[in-house]
Amino acid sequence: MSNAITISGSTYTVIGTVKNKDNSQGIDDLHVLVYDKDKFLKDDFLGIGVTDVNGVFSVTFDASQFSSIVDRSPDLYFIVKDAGTELLSTKDNVIENATESTPPINLVVDLTDDKLRKLINEVPAPGWVGGFAQSNPAFAYPTPDLSSLNMEKNRTNIPKLQRQQKVLWPEFSWLTEPDAEDKKRCYQMFAPDISRLGYNDEGKVYSIICPQQGAASPHLGSMNVEVTVTGNRGWVDETTKEIAADMKVEGRIWFSPSAHDHVLVQQLAEHFKKHNLPFPSDKANAIVVSTHNPGTPEQEIFPLTKGSSTDFPIPDFAKHEDISWSLGHLGVQIGPIVKTNVKIVDDFNQLILDVFNTAAGNMLKNGNILTWNVWFTAPEEVNRLEWATHTEKWRRSIDADHGSPDGEGTVARYFDGTPFSPLKELFIDELPRIIAFIKEHL
Q: Which of 55-64, 102-111, 396-405 bottoms out in mean pLDDT, i.e. has the lowest?
A: 396-405
Nearest 10 degrees: Cα torsion 294, 251, 237, 407: 130
How many CB atoms sit inside 10 A of residue 127's CB?
12
3-state secondary structure 170-186: EEEEEECCCCCCHHHEE
Residue 401 confidence class, pLDDT cut points 50, 70, 90:
low
**Residue 301, pLDDT above cutoff 90:** yes
What is the CB neighbour count within 10 angstroms for residue 309?
Answer: 18
Model confidence at 395, pLDDT cuts 50, 70, 90, reads: low
Q: What are phi and psi of 432, to 5 degrees?
A: -60, -35
Helix (H) or strand (E) run with residue 48 in it: strand 44-50
The answer, yes or no, to whether residue 41 has pLDDT greater than 80, is no
Please state which CATH class domain 5-113 belongs to.
Answer: mainly beta
CA neighbor of 49 nearest in space, from 88, 77, 86, 15: 15
The segment with the largest mean pLDDT, out of 132-146, 208-222, 428-442, is 132-146
Nearest to 229, CA basis, from 145, 281, 156, 297: 156
Looking at the predicted structure, is the pLDDT value of residue 30 above 80?
yes
Mean pLDDT, residues 214-237: 88
Please give the distance of CA 87 from its chain centroid, rounded to a whole number: 19
- Answer whether 94's CB lies under 8 Å from 75's CB: yes
Q: pLDDT category, 428, cuts 50, 70, 90?
A: confident
CA distance 223 to 360: 10
- Chain centroid, CA 360 distance in Å: 12
User: For residue range 150-201, what is the model confidence (pLDDT) as tens digits?
Assistant: 999 888 899 999 999 999 999 999 999 888 888 899 999 998 988 999 999 9
Evaluate whether 357 touches 186 at the Cβ level (below 8 Å). no
pLDDT band (50, 70, 90) for residue 426: low
- Residue 142 preceded by cis peptide, ω within 30: yes
Per-residue pLDDT tens for 319-329? Answer: 999 999 999 99
- Beta strand 44-50 with 31-36 is antiparallel
pLDDT at 127: 97
Q: pLDDT tens for residues 242-280? A: 999 999 999 999 998 888 888 889 999 999 999 999 999
| 211: pLDDT strictly greater than 90 | no
Task: Name the more confident of 144 and 407.
Answer: 144
The CA distance from 440 to 1, in Å, is: 67
| CA-closest candidate to residue 202, choices 144, 124, 123, 135 | 135
Question: In the prediction, which pLDDT does 388 show?
Answer: 85
pLDDT reading at 423 higher than 70: no
Query: Per residue in 101-142, pLDDT tens?
Result: 999 999 999 999 999 999 999 999 999 999 999 999 999 999
Give the whole-angstrom CA distance, residue 271 versus residue 47: 48
> What pLDDT, on a 0 to 100 scale, did the predictor assign at position 70?
56
Out of 63-67, 194-198, 248-252, 346-350, which region has the weakest mean confidence (pLDDT)?
Answer: 63-67
For residue 360, what pLDDT band results from cuts at 50, 70 and 90?
A: confident
pLDDT in the model for residue 398: 53
Please state, in angstroms and rounded to a whole number, the distance separating the CA atoms of residues 148 and 204.
13
Confidence of residue 399 (pLDDT cuts 50, 70, 90): low
Give the whole-angstrom CA distance, residue 277 versus residue 279.
Answer: 6
Q: 69 pLDDT exceeds 60? A: no
Which stretches of 83-220 are assigned E, i.e. beta strand? 85-89, 105-109, 163-175, 185-189, 196-199, 205-209, 212-217
Closest listed residue to residue 385, CA positions, set 159, 230, 206, 165: 159
Residue type, 396: R
pLDDT of 257: 84
Handedness of CA 432, 434, 436, 439 (dihedral sign): negative
- Where are the domains positioned within the chain? 5-113, 118-441
Q: Nearest to residue 210, comparing CAs of 226, 225, 198?
A: 226
Beta strands 163-175; 185-189: pairing state: antiparallel
Mean pLDDT of 301-321: 97
Average pLDDT, the chain: 91
